[in-house]
Amino acid sequence: MLGEAEPQWLSEEVKTGTTIIAIEFNGGVVLGSDSRVSAGESVVNRVMNKLSPLHDKIYCALSGSAADAQTIAEMVNYQLDVHSMEIGEDPQVRSAATLVKNISYKYKEELSAHLIVAGWDRREGGQVFATLKGLLTRQPFAVGGSGSSYVYGFVDAEYRKGMNKKECQQFVVNTLSLAMKRDGSSGGVAYLVTIDEHGTEEKVILGNDLPNLFNQ
Amino acid sequence: MEKHYTDSKVKGVSTGTTILAAIFDGGVVIGSDSRASIGGEYVSSKTINKVIQVHDRIFCCMAGSLADAQAVIKSAKSHLSFHSVQMESPPLVIAAASVLKELCYKNKDELQAGFLTAGWDSKKGPQVYVVSLGGMLISQQVTIGGSGSTYIYGYVDAKYKPNMTREECLQFATNALALAMGRDNVSGGVAHLVVITEKGVELKLVCSLIELLLIFHEELNE
């Protein structure tokens, strides 16, 4: 048989349609993401870790086009290494976010990725920065990706100032769980990264261990 | 399959909207926002009521093209009152939902309207039905619709509990509508809520949503 049609997913752009969230607490930050990567209607990777380290205590969460997001993260990782050698100490979270913002803004027509940058530094403690489309803004928490639309109401209602580390981790897990249930492009497992002055802790929560908040 | 988009400028006033219906212990709450806008650029009405009474204890909320929805509801109302005269008893909630479903399904190529139907009848008590754009009919405990509903899926999933009390359900519905209006630019205004129980029907207008939003957005209080 001649000319067998190639599967649709080979010609579709690979996107991390996703849910990402980062939240600041007194003394650090918690980042969370799902793990689904889709090309059109196929899930091409169900265990991708979208929380990418930019430096020891600075991570970013990737969303949008998988290629664009990964490239930005790698470029900023390199630029931050050079920068931290130049200044002789650990870089500030704001510097990392600015580097991401510079790339996002300069190439905003070509790129379609949104990175949330979060981390801990000695000067300002835990910080979360959103860099959507080249904007740079510090926020107490940020959500992004296709799944974030479904949980805006939930995070608006549930976020309180002054949550401690455990409460923030629970908040992130609950939010991811709700978004993954509703968004077709989010799913798989939940990755959690907690950064504070003592170090960085990475955690995976498997799909069946996610809280089931849906009561019907 | 081609996607069918409504051009709101062609169809006229379209309801970007948030609608919700939820069953509690002994009744049902159905509610909506009150904004009608043209293409998301101009608010043509700040106080439109999207909760329509189709019979004594059956109410409907419309989503999609307002023109289509109004036409369908007008036709459904007359079908229903004729049906209830024939049956010599108040219509069942599922009858109302089915009438809407038939109209939506038979005319699916021309129409762009979806409905939430909520009510109470003596056979099954409080019920909520959803008629989707293409004419699917399903029964649910809690359901949301309209453009603003996207933002509150997480909230509704987390916060709705079966067998809530009337007050808890009203607070839940008000909160959900307020949160949706806070994020969706084509939903807004006041919240029109209707509580339907065996005893009767109560209409509530909640205007103080701004205060509610201030509670949810603590950073505004600084």
Closest chain B C-alpha to A87 CA, distance in angstroms: 35
CA atoms of A192 and A171, how far apart (whole Å): 11
Query: Would residue A18 show up in a list of annotated catalytic residues for this protein?
Result: yes
Residue B11's pLDDT is: 42
Half-sphere exposure of B115 (CA within 13 A, CB side): 34
CA neighbor of A31 nearest in space, from A215, A209, A203: A203
Closest chain B C-alpha to A145 CA, distance in angstroms: 13
Residue A2's pLDDT is: 58
User: Under an 8 A CB cutoff, do A156 and B153 touch?
Assistant: no
Residue B3's pLDDT is: 34
B222: tokens are: 């600084």
Q: Which residues of chain B have pLDDT under 70?
A: 1-15, 218-222
Residue B13's pLDDT is: 46
Q: Which of A16, A18, A175, A200 is catalytic?
A: A18
User: Under an 8 A CB cutoff, do A157 and B155 touch?
Assistant: yes
Give the distance between the most distant pair of CA atoms in chain A.
67
pLDDT in tens, A94-144: 999 999 999 999 999 999 899 999 999 999 999 999 998 899 999 999 999
Element (H, E) at A101: helix A93-106
Above 60 in pLDDT, residue A3? no
Residue at A72: amino acid letter: I
User: Under an 8 A CB cutoff, do B218 and A160 touch?
Assistant: yes
Which of A152, A161, A215 faces B183 most closely, judged by CB atoms? A152
CA neighbor of B147 nearest in space, from B49, B33, B68: B33
Residue B133's pLDDT is: 85
Backbone angles phi, psi at A157, to 5 degrees: -75, -40
Which of A153, A160, A178 faces B179 most closely, judged by CB atoms? A153
Residue B46's pLDDT is: 82
CA atoms of B13 and B67, how far apart (whole Å): 7
CA atoms of A70 and A75, how far apart (whole Å): 9
Domain extent, residue A122, equals 19-205
Residue A38's pLDDT is: 86
CA neighbor of A94 nearest in space, from A116, A139, A127, A122: A127
CA neighbor of A189 nearest in space, from A180, A197, A198: A180
Residue A215's pLDDT is: 60
Backbone angles phi, psi at B131, to 5 degrees: -110, 115
Strand partners for A161 = none
Mutation target among A156, A175, A214 for the B interface, most CBs of B within 10 A: A156
pLDDT in tens, A15-71: 668 999 999 999 999 999 999 998 888 888 899 999 999 999 999 999 998 899 999
- Using a CB-CB cut-off of 8 Å, the residues of chain A touching B217 are 156
Residue A212 in domain: no
Name the burial class of residue A43, with classes exposed (0-12), middle (13-18) and buried (19+) by CB atoms within 10 angstroms of its CB.
middle
Residue B10's pLDDT is: 40
Handedness of CA B27, B158, B31, B165 (dihedral sign): positive
Average pLDDT of chain A?
Answer: 91
What CATH code is carried by the domain that includes residue A108?
Answer: 3.60.20.10
Tell me, rounded to whole angstroms, the distance of Cα A105 from its chain centroid: 18
Residue length of chain B: 222
Confirm if A175 and A155 have CB atoms less than 8 A apart.
Answer: yes
What domains are defined for chain B? 18-220 (3.60.20.10)
A84: tokens are: 């931290």
Q: What's the structural domain count of chain A?
A: 1
CA atoms of A77 and B130, how far apart (whole Å): 49
Residue A197 in domain: yes
